[in-house]
């Protein structure tokens, strides 16, 4: 028979990761870090947290091995420990969406419904043919960290004042942080209200 205490210790390591993921704000921080590395200060603003609360949650994620840090002068910069962490977060969302009916109700309450989506494969085909404009509506620093090649950057809070930068006769495909990010939904609704052809990418940078 196996060593029961050793087995218990092993499963405690698994549980430590699960415990770190059990807080909605920590999951939001992982979602933000999936866009690229970021300072504590910027993460606190984006997640709507106080600086000390944000730091405490990040430390919990770091202790669990989910994020890493580096120093840039006086700032501490956080990043995901690896692409497998982003995949874990994406899988967690999929499980919740598949097996918890409450998840779909919460999704609709947050994002709304009725925004037409474009699959990734079709976007690639149409972008290569020059048939669409790909629009990144995340904050500028997230676009700078990583973006779809050829995508234009207009943050969602600037879009209403910068519509003239987009062609009126070409469909716009907006994307943001991921399938559960509200920015692309808001962008498509704004563009359609202005009579512009627009859809959102079915997923986003996390996927």
Question: Which amino acids are annotated catalytic?
Answer: 176
Neighbours of 48 (CB within 10 A): 10
Tokens linked to 93: 């969302």
| DSSP secondary structure string for all residues of 186-199 | HHHHHHHHTT--EE
- Planar angle of CA 121, 147, 82, nearest 5 degrees: 95
- Residue in the block written with tokens 């874990």: 88
Tokens linked to 193: 């209200």
From residue 188, how far is each of 104, 111, 135, 139, 152 by CA, in Å?
Answer: 20, 12, 10, 16, 15
């Amino acid at each position: 028979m196996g060593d029961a205490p050793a087995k218990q210790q092993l499963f405690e390591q698994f549980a430590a990761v699960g415990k770190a993921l059990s807080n909605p704000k920590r999951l939001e921080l992982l979602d933000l870090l999936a866009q690229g590395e970021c300072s504590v200060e910027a993460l606190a603003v984006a997640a709507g947290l106080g600086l000390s609360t944000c730091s405490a949650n990040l430390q919990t994620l770091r202790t669990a091995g989910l994020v890493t840090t580096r120093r840039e002068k006086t700032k501490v910069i956080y990043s995901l420990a690896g692409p497998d962490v982003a995949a874990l977060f994406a899988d967690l969302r999929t499980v919740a969406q598949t097996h918890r009916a409450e998840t779909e109700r919460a999704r609709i309450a947050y994002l709304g419904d009725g925004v037409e989506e474009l699959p990734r494969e079709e976007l690639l085909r149409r972008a290569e043919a020059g048939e669409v404009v790909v629009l990144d509506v995340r904050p500028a620093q997230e676009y700078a960290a990583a973006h779809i090649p050829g995508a234009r950057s207009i943050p969602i809070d600037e879009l209403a004042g910068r519509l003239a930068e987009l062609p009126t006769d070409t469909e716009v495909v907006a994307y943001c942080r991921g399938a559960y990010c509200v920015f692309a939904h808001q962008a498509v609704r704004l563009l359609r209200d202005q009579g512009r052809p627009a859809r959102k990418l079915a997923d986003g940078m996390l996927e």
